Amino acid sequence: MDACDIISIDMKSKLDGKIIGIGIVILALIIVAALFVVNLLNQSFKTTDSPRPVQSQSPQTTMVSGPLDAPDSENDGLTIEFMDSRYYHGENVDFDFYVVTLRVTTTDGINIDLDHFTTSEGINLAKTQQYSTQLESNQFYLGKANVVYQLVSVENTALFNIFVPTTTSSPITLSCDLLPDLSIQLDPTHNISDIHDLFYGANDVISDGRTYQLTVSETFTLAGDELVQTIGNETYTYAVPSTISVFAFRLDAVSLFGDELIIESAQYIADDGQVFDALGKDITAEQYPNIIGMTITDKSYGYLFFEAYSNYNNPVSYSGQLHLKLASHADEISVKVDLNA
């Protein structure tokens, strides 16, 4: 083999090496591109929804510190942003509904009535009490979802949950006459929620979204000699037999806009059918004021007292519901809570 042949072979080897190197690079690029395309396809198959915020975007349910101060706002610089929606299928009612979260921003505080909002079905959101009343009669409470019926805040930006009933299983549109270009699309196939989450339990913030907020504590027992009864102008020790235990629930209450809030009566209905009536407003304790009949126009608290047969060998332990009757409210509030010694 002469020198020319050796040079030719060497050049051919180098050329083959370059071709192989280029081939490897091209193959790597093809693999990266393929992975990118597969990822895009996976994302498109997962959902075609509009982006959804995380749950923390929904306003948290907390007790307010006192009556709300509704600003005399002109709502200048108003913007409304759709943040989230949850769809609930109605049970024992002839409608379904959404809980819609909106972010509202102005330059001078927020004070907007819901009569500015209308659905494509012609339902004005200021005229939905017939729907919420039906839910409450079935012990589903929109207050559990922190729904409000007036958008009020002294802050310039706030989140609000609003109630949007619907009588169709098809998507609907929500509009606001203050912002003619606003059109919020609501789809019943997105964020389907369980209506049974709208029951109240101990320590939940209970509210009608219009006039009041309440919380009900777990039960605790009182010594019988702590109770007194007022008859006329005289106060006496309230005698409790040794076979009876006295149980108390603490209630914290806020009148949202200064309206009178009065709890007229209360019952505890056990799952086994037993019914316990709360002791009347004439029976109280020095450290535990009876909330029955108390007129609340700001923020206050009080207690409900119940008597139940109990002894050392058979301590009280009931599962059931506490029913509260508020003055000026037709339906009772039901709270799932245990009655335990």
**Residue 77 to residue 85: CA distance in whole angstroms:** 24
Whether the Cβ atoms of residue 94 and residue 165 lie closer than 8 Å to each other: no
- The set of residues, in sequence order, having a beta carbon less than 8 Å from that of 281 and lying 6+ positions away, is 290, 292, 293, 294
Domain end: 198, 226, 256, which one?
A: 198
Looking at the structure, do residues 153 and 215 belong to the same domain, yes or no? no
Domains held by the chain: number: 3
Residue 131 has pLDDT above 50, yes or no: yes
Is residue 227 located within the same domain as residue 323?
yes
Task: Assess whether pLDDT exceeds 70 at residue 20.
Answer: no
Same domain (yes/no): 112, 84: yes
DSSP class of residue 57? G
Question: Same domain, yes or no, for 314 and 275?
Answer: yes
Sign of dihedral through CA atoms 109, 68, 214, 138? negative
180 & 236 share domain = no
Q: Are 166 and 228 within one domain?
A: no
Residue 80 CB neighbours (<10 A): 21
214 vs 34, higher pLDDT: 214
Mean pLDDT of 282-300: 93
Average confidence (pLDDT) over 146-165: 94
Among 159, 182, 198, where does a domain finish?
198
Q: Is 224 found in the same domain as 95?
A: no
User: What pLDDT is recorded for position 258?
Assistant: 87
pLDDT reported for residue 29: 59
Tokens of 307: 């008597």
Identify which has the larger pLDDT, 12 or 261. 261
| 270/175: higher pLDDT | 175
Residue 287 has pLDDT above 70, yes or no: yes
Characterise 54 by phi-psi region: left (phi > 0), alpha (psi -120 to 50), beta (else): beta
Q: Are residues 98 and 146 in the same domain?
A: yes
Distance of CA 16 to the CA centre of its chain: 69
Domain match, 326 and 210 both: yes
Kindly state whether residues 94 and 181 are assigned to the same domain: yes
Q: How does the average pLDDT of the chain come out, rounded?
A: 83
Nearest to 131 by CA among 170, 162, 85, 171: 162
Domain hosting 5: range is 1-46
Interatomic CA distance for residues 150 and 198, integer angstroms:
20
Cα–Cα distance, 328 to 251 (Å, whole number): 19
User: Does pTM surpass 0.75?
Assistant: no
Residues 64-122: tens digit of each pLDDT: 767 777 777 778 899 999 999 999 999 999 999 999 999 999 998 999 999 999 999 99
User: What per-residue string of b and e applies to 233-265 under the rule 16 or more CB within 10 Å gives b?
Assistant: eeeeebebeeeebbbbbbbbbbbbeeeebbbeb
pLDDT for 30 equals 62
Q: Are residues 208 and 260 in the same domain?
A: yes
**Residues 70 and 32 placed together within one structural domain of the fold:** no
What CATH code is carried by the domain that includes residue 173?
Answer: 2.60.40
* Beta carbons within 10 angstroms of residue 112's beta carbon: 21
Q: What is the CATH number of the domain that holds 255?
A: 2.60.40.1240
288: Cβ contacts below 8 Å, ≥ 6 apart: 222, 226, 248, 250, 302, 303, 305
